[in-house]
């Protein structure tokens, strides 16, 4: 009913979803990384600017120191000398700062050039100091040419320029690498997005496919349900018909069996009349023994016919019960069973038995059927008491979640285990066959209980008594309301 | 019952027919008894070849009818009898084994005059038939018009 699709099985769906989420996480991570990278790049650019600015300041300070020194050498004003010293201190501080900044930007790799610069500046400063010392001793003009020769101002300038360039190169390189990585990541993200789209498409296809299959399955199920209902209805009708046929059959058979019985009985009686005439005419004599045999044969034939007639009548009664229409009404069971017990009062007295009816839960059923059920059970209880013990019969009842339970308990002779299943069968009786009856009562009871939607069961201990349990559902089944007619 | 009344007995069971006849005779009934053992011959006898029933004009008939016949239901014969202009006044005694209440009601509804269930017990059977015979000896039966 559904097409097989192993490639697009719905079991693949979670895997696809997991893959999609993983890709999304990757893309998200990349974005975070890109932002962080941009931040780092700008910080790095700022640092480079800072380094450049510090280098420029250093250069300025060196120039100012040189210029102040020259002013001191020319003018000899000690104020300039103090300025030079202040400048040297500022240069030291600037160098320390620069060292820190450089360390931040590129670790220690630049320290060679920086160390050279540092040394050059130190030389320059010491040269300036020496020149200042000689100016004090030898006068202003003696130091100037030497000063000019030994000045490292030009080298310092070039080194600062190199440092700036190096720093810029470094920055450019790092930025280039960063932007390359960013581009790679971006490309990867784009690929990821594309993949997510592909996954989404695959998911949609799978979902639509499985929805189609589900709908097909649902349709098939619905059809199956409908055909099931049809089948059940058909079977029920068949069963009902079969049941009717059986009842009809039983009715017709029992009916037709009675007709030959009338003949057998009738002509037996005719024979009896003829025999009387015959033997009367012959009088006593050797035929006396023959007469006895004749009587015996006739009495056997007649008692058998009478029994057969009772059995057939019983079957007729059963089939008629099966056809009778039930009228359901609320029934006070305590009152119903109580009045049955009252009706059996004389019989109970003769049998030295007592019948106790405890309060029973009410029930919604057919009055006549219930009377027959409990009447039969009570009569049975009275019939099968033990001769040596006063009979005690108790009717109790209680409500269980599924319905009402009624029990008829006696202390009679009980039923052998092997007979338990048979007592409800037609024409079957348990124990010594010393009581009148055709073995029809319990069959009748079971038929009625079943028609009321209930069940009957028996527990018994031979020699101690039996308990018949009748269970009715709270509401009788709807089928019970239908009659077989 | 006057001598010219004919008893028509429709009964498929020959034994029953014989027993009924014997017991009616025992009650002192001397009328002619015509015994018919199936529905078809009964219909032919009652309604004649042309199916009108005019053959019996001027006769007095009493019909003993069994419901369970091999070829048709006695009910159909009862219906036809009561619908026939010549035979509708002839008393019909349904004598059958059926004791179903619906069936009994139906027969009376269709115009049966007496419904008797054949008892299986021979004593009561013989007794019933004898009483029926006695009853026959006192009732008035109209001639067919």
Q: Give which of A207, A279, A196 is closest to A18, Cα–Cα.
A: A196
List pLDDT tens digits, range A202-260. 889 988 998 999 999 999 999 999 999 899 999 989 988 888 888 778 777 777 777 78
Q: Give which of B17, B86, B15, B95 is closest to B53, Cα–Cα.
A: B86
**Long-range contacts of A139-142, Cβ-Cβ distance < 8 Å, separation of 24 or more:** A140/A73, A140/A74, A140/A76
For residue A103, what are the domain limits? Answer: 12-212
List pLDDT tens digits, range A458-476. 998 888 889 999 999 876 5
Structure tokens at B9: 């007995």
User: Which residue is closest to B17 within chain A, CA to CA?
Assistant: A263
Residues A195 and A134 in one domain: yes
Q: Does A273 touch chain B (CB under 8 A)?
A: no
Q: Is A1 part of any domain?
A: no
Residues A147 and A267 in one domain: no
List pLDDT tens digits, range A440-455. 888 889 888 888 888 9
Residues A61 and A194 in one domain: yes
Q: Measure in Å the smallest separation between the Cα of B86 and chain A Cα atoms.
A: 32
Q: Measure in Å the smallest separation between the Cα of A258 and chain B Cα atoms.
A: 7
CB contact under 8 A, B13 and A261: no
Q: What is the DSSP letter of B68?
A: B
Percent residues over pLDDT 90 in chain A:
12
**Final residue belonging to a domain, choices A196, A212, A228:** A212
Residue A3 has pLDDT above 50, yes or no: no
Computed over every residue of chain B, the mean pLDDT equals 86
Q: Is A441 part of any domain?
A: yes
> Which of B97, B100, B121 is the closest to A265 by Cβ?
B121
| CA angle centred on A150, ends A145 and A154, rounded to 5° | 110
Give the mean pLDDT of A182-203.
86
Residues A385 and A280 in one domain: no
Residues A476 and A336 in one domain: yes
According to the model, what pLDDT value does residue A283 have? 60
Residues A199 and A297 in one domain: no
> Which of A256, A263, A312 is the closest to B15 by Cβ?
A263
**pLDDT band at residue A140 using 50, 70 and 90 as cut-offs:** low
Residues in B touching A261 (Cβ below 8 Å): 120
Pairing label, strands A465-473, A455-461: antiparallel
CATH 3.40.50.2300 correct for B5-138: yes
Q: Does B37 touch chain A (CB under 8 A)?
A: no
E strand or H helix that includes residue B6: strand B5-10
Q: Does A259 touch chain B (CB under 8 A)?
A: yes
Buried b (16+ CB within 10 A) or exposed e, A196-210: beebeebeeebeebb
Q: Does A258 touch chain B (CB under 8 A)?
A: yes
Rounded Cα distance between A128 and A78, Å, is 14
Structure tokens at B68: 């369970």
Rounded Cα distance between B123 and B118, Å, is 11
Residues in A touching B125 (Cβ below 8 Å): 262, 265-266
Q: Give which of B127, B137, B67, B130 is closest to B102, Cα–Cα.
A: B67
Rounded Cα distance between B113 and B141, Å, is 12
Residues A296 and A330 in one domain: no
CB B94 within 8 A of CB B63: no
Rounded Cα distance between A411 and A200, Å, is 80
Q: Is A337 part of any domain?
A: yes
According to the model, what pLDDT value does residue A276 have? 83
Q: Give the CATH number for residue A377.
A: 3.30.565.10
Rounded Cα distance between A301 and A267, Å, is 11
> Which of A256, A265, A267 is the closest to B120 by Cβ?
A265
User: Which residue is closest to B19 within chain A, CA to CA?
Assistant: A266
**Final residue belonging to a domain, choices A192, A212, A232:** A212
Burial of residue A149, with CB atoms counted within 10 A of its CB: 0-12 exposed, 13-18 middle, 19 or more buried: exposed
Residue A2 has pLDDT above 50, yes or no: no
Residues A184 and A296 in one domain: no
Q: Measure in Å the smallest separation between the Cα of A368 and chain B Cα atoms.
A: 17
DSSP class per residue in A168-230: HHHHHHHHHHHHHHHHHHHHHHHHHHHHHHHHHHHHHHHHHHHHHHHHHHHHHHHHHHHHHHH
List pLDDT tens digits, range A399-450. 988 889 999 999 888 888 888 878 888 777 777 777 777 778 888 898 888 8
Q: What is the DSSP letter of B4?
A: T
CB contact under 8 A, A262 and B16: yes
Residue with tokens 């100012």: A64
Residues in A touching B97 (Cβ below 8 Å): 255, 258-259, 262
Residue A164 has pLDDT above 90, yes or no: no
Residues A371 and A450 in one domain: yes
Residue A435 CA from chain centroid, whole number = 60
- Most confident range (mean pLDDT) of A94-98, A216-220, A481-485, B93-97 is A216-220
Residue A145 has pLDDT above 80, yes or no: no
SS3 content of chain A, % helix, strand, coil (to 5): 70, 10, 20
Rounded Cα distance between B6 and B32, Å, is 5
Q: Is A447 part of any domain?
A: yes
Q: Measure in Å the smallest separation between the Cα of B57 and chain A Cα atoms.
A: 34
Rg (CA), chain A: 62
Structure tokens at A163: 């440092």
Residues A268 and A171 in one domain: no
Instruction: Report the predicted TM-score, pTM, of the whole model to 2 decimal places.
Output: 0.47
- Domain map (residue ranges) of chain B: 5-138
Q: Measure in Å the smallest separation between the Cα of A252 and chain B Cα atoms.
A: 10
Residue A72 has pLDDT above 90, yes or no: no
Q: Does B125 touch chain A (CB under 8 A)?
A: yes
């Amino acid at each position: 009913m559904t097409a097989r699709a192993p490639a697009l099985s719905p079991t693949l769906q979670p895997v696809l979803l997991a893959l999609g989420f993983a890709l999304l996480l990757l893309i998200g991570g990349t974005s975070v990384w890109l932002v962080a990278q941009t931040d780092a790049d700008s910080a790095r650019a700022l640092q480079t600017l800072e380094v450049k600015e510090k280098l420029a300041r250093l250069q300025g300070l060196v120039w100012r120191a040189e210029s102040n020194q020259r002013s001191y050498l020319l003018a000899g004003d000690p104020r300039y000398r103090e300025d030079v010293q202040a400048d040297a201190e500022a240069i030291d501080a600037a160098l320390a700062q620069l060292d820190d900044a450089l360390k931040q930007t590129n670790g220690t790799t630049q320290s060679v050039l920086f160390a050279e610069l540092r040394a050059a500046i130190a030389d320059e400063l010491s040269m300036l100091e020496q020149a200042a010392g000689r100016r004090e001793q030898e006068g202003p003009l003696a130091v100037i040419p030497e000063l000019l020769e030994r000045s490292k101002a030009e080298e310092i300038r070039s080194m600062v320029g190199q440092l700036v360039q190096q720093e810029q190169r470094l920055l450019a390189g790092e930025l280039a690498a960063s932007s390359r990585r960013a581009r790679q990541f971006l490309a990867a993200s784009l690929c990821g997005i594309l993949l997510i789209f592909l996954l989404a498409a695959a998911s949609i296809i799978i979902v639509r496919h499985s929805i189609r299959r589900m709908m097909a399955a649902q349709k098939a199920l619905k059809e199956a349900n409908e055909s099931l209902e049809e089948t059940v209805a058909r079977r029920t009708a068949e069963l009902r018909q079969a049941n009717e046929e059986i009842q009809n059959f039983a009715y017709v058979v029992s009916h037709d069996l009675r007709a030959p019985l009338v003949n057998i009985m009738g002509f037996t009686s005719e024979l009896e009349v003829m025999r009387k005439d015959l033997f009367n005419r012959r009088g006593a004599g050797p035929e006396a023994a023959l007469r006895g045999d004749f009587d015996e044969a006739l009495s056997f034939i007649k008692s058998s016919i009478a029994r057969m007639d009772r059995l057939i009548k019983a079957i007729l009664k059963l089939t008629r019960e099966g056809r009778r229409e039930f009228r359901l009404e609320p029934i006070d069971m305590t009152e119903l069973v109580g009045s049955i017990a009252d009706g059996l009062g004389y019989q109970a007295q003769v049998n030295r038995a007592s019948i106790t009816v405890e309060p029973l839960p009410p029930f919604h059923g057919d009055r006549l059927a219930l009377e027959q059920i409990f009447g039969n059970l009570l009569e049975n209880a009275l019939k099968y008491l033990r001769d040596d013990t006063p009979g005690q019969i108790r009717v109790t009842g209680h409500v269980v979640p599924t319905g009402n339970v009624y029990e008829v308990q006696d202390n009679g002779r009980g039923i052998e285990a092997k007979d338990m299943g048979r007592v409800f069968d037609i024409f079957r009786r348990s124990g010594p066959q010393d009581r009148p009856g055709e073995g029809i009562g319990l069959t009748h009871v079971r038929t009625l209980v079943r028609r009321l939607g209930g069940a009957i069961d028996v527990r018994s201990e031979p020699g101690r008594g039996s308990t018949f349990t009748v269970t009715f559902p709270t509401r009788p089944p709807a089928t019970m309301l239908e009659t077989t007619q | 019952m006057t001598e010219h009344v004919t008893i028509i007995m429709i009964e498929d069971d020959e034994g029953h027919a014989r027993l009924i006849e014997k017991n009616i005779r025992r009650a002192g009934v001397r009328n002619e008894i015509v015994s018919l053992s199936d529905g078809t011959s009964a219909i032919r006898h009652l309604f004649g070849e042309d199916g009108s029933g005019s053959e019996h004009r001027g006769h007095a008939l009493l019909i003993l009818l069994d419901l369970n016949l091999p070829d048709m239901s006695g009910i159909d014969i009862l219906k036809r009898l009561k619908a026939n202009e010549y035979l509708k006044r002839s008393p019909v005694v349904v004598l059958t084994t059926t004791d179903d209440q619906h069936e009994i009601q139906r027969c009376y509804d269709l115009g049966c005059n007496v419904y008797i269930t054949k008892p299986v017990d021979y004593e009561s059977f013989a007794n019933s038939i004898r009483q029926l015979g006695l009853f026959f000896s006192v009732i008035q039966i109209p001639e067919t018009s």
